[in-house]
Amino acid sequence: MKVLLANPRGFCAGVNMAIECLEAAIERFGTSIYVYHEIVHNKYVVDRFTRQGVQFVDAIADVPEGSILLFSAHGVSPTIREQSAKRRLRTVDATCPLVTKVHLEAIRYAQNGYNIILIGHEGHDEVIGTMGEAPEQISLVETPQDVDQLSFAETDKVAYLTQTTLSVAEASAIIERLHERFPHVESPPKEDICYATTNRQDAVNQLAVDADVVIVLGSQNSSNSRRLMELAASRGSAAYLVDSVEELQTDWFSNSETVMVTAGASAPEVVVQECVDHLVRTFGATVEEVVTREEHVHFNLPRELREPAEPVEPR
């Protein structure tokens, strides 16, 4: 067996920043910290912080007044920020800057009177946060067929934004249909799908065609990880999305000469290496790391964690 280990894979700059935010907050404030939703969509990461005492919540009402609260990498709506302020929560914003960019674009288009079409997946944390910036002016579409249901007039001002973790091909099909229906539709000067999502998909496109099996490390609720699995399957490989080595099944690799291994942008490297080590031990695999693109992006910690610490008032 030969293992093609994709590079780039795993953590992107936004995920790195969010995790570093939570680690820095623990160091500064202790482990009595709350996070609104999962800090990133990865079971291994969330479980690690849960064991340290961090509590992940889905409602601001579940956070005691005056507590420390982190907003996850996926961003939150203005309503969540308002609820946090009313409860006198000390908030740290770990939103990925690329998600913040989409929020700011939504605000700008809304202020300029546009009808905003958001391409994304209903219920995803990032989509919920973005739509919250201008709920009366944003329509969500998930497929080209959804575009056909939009009722804007030819004279209406229309613009589109995209969730940052979409499949490039998936988004392109919807954007093409938008341009057919609304030739005057506008979009930001720089696309919203993040560099890391694009790079990891490019690696799958290049390597999956030579693989009998593709293993994607990532959680089932990770949008970008699921897109990698779907993309690999579309290239003709047997593709599996797993959280850890424990989920690998021996019969997946029967008669497999080449296995590609990659990881979604929220999956830590430790789980990748555990899976690769398992393939080496069990099947005598050799490993070739294939670099398809280099990444050198880094995001600084938010201001709240760069400034001198203030004393925390007892609750």
pLDDT at position 310 over 90: no
Q: How confident is the model at residue 304 (pLDDT cuts 50, 70, 90)?
A: confident
Cα separations in angstroms, 95 against 13, 20, 264, 300: 11, 12, 18, 12
Domain parsing of the chain, residue ranges: 2-11+195-291, 13-96+299-306, 98-181
Give 254-275 pLDDT, tens digit per residue. 989 999 999 999 999 999 999 9
Look at residue 314 in the predicted model and tell me its pLDDT.
46
Query: Is 142:120 a contact under the CB 8 Å cutoff?
Result: yes
CATH class of 98-181: alpha beta
Look at residue 308 in the predicted model and tell me its pLDDT.
66
Same fold, 2-11+195-291 and 13-96+299-306: no
CATH topology of domain 2-11+195-291: Cobalt-precorrin-4 Transmethylase; domain 1 (3.40.1010)
Give 68-97 pLDDT, tens digit per residue. 999 999 999 999 999 999 999 999 999 999
Q: If you search the block for the tokens 């979604």, which residue do you land on?
A: 264
Task: Give percent of the chain above pLDDT 70.
Answer: 97
Look at residue 155 in the predicted model and tell me its pLDDT.
87
CATH topology of domain 13-96+299-306: Rossmann fold (3.40.50)
Q: How confident is the model at residue 58 (pLDDT cuts 50, 70, 90)?
A: very high
Q: Which residue among the candidates 105, 126, 133, 304 is catalytic per the annotation?
A: 126
Q: Where are the beta strands (DSSP E) in 65-149?
A: 68-71, 90-93, 115-119, 138-141
Q: How far apart are CA 95 and CA 35, in angstroms?
A: 12
Average pLDDT over the chain, rounded to an integer: 95
Query: Is 16:42 a contact under the CB 8 Å cutoff?
Result: no
Is 126 designated active site? yes
Tell me 186's DSSP state.
B
